[in-house]
Amino acid sequence: MSDPKRHDIFEDKNGTRVAIKQVFPPNASGISFVEYKNLLDSNLRFLPEAEFLEQFTWVENFDSIDTYSEPVAEQLNDIPPSGPELESKDGQEDSTGAEPTTKPSRSE
């Protein structure tokens, strides 16, 4: 892939992976710089796009990996339901105005 974009993951010949933060438009000299971050540390680095592409090869796109789907689904399952359906279950009359359908017990 010869056109790095935001969230692309590249790898060098040693296996070090980097993530593209942004690609700057060409400056007055016509040189476009790539801002990237090594996945092992948090330091931002800059290289001209041509030099970057000489050192790194495209591996994957970070957008294609959904890393948050399981934790969010687990959190949603832990949240108790709320709303009008709970109010009607608390012994109050429901919206139709009907009384509860329990039969009174008779003692004979």
Average pLDDT over residues 30-49: 92
Cα–Cα distances (Å) from 84 to 69, 76, 77, 90, 99, in that order, read: 28, 19, 19, 10, 17
In what helix (H) or strand (E) does residue 70 lie, and over which residues does it extend?
helix 69-78
Mapped onto helix, strand or coil, the DSSP state of residue 64 is helix
- Per-residue pLDDT band for 99 (boundaries 50, 70, 90) equals low
Q: 101 pLDDT exceeds 80?
A: no
**Percent of the chain residues topping a pLDDT of 90:** 32
Question: What does the pLDDT look like over 56-87, one tens digit per residue?
Answer: 998 887 665 444 445 555 555 665 666 555 55
* 59 lies in some domain: yes
* 20 lies in some domain: yes
Pairwise pLDDT comparison (28 vs 80), residue with the higher score: 28
* 72 lies in some domain: no
* 108 lies in some domain: no
Which domain range does residue 12 map to?
8-64
What is the pLDDT at residue 47? 95
* 2 lies in some domain: no
* 30 lies in some domain: yes
* 19 lies in some domain: yes
* 90 lies in some domain: no
Q: How many domains does the structure of the chain reveal?
A: 1
Q: 26 pLDDT exceeds 80?
A: yes
Spatial strand order of the sheet with 17-23 comes to 44-48, 33-38, 17-23, 8-12, 56-61
Q: 27 pLDDT exceeds 90?
A: yes
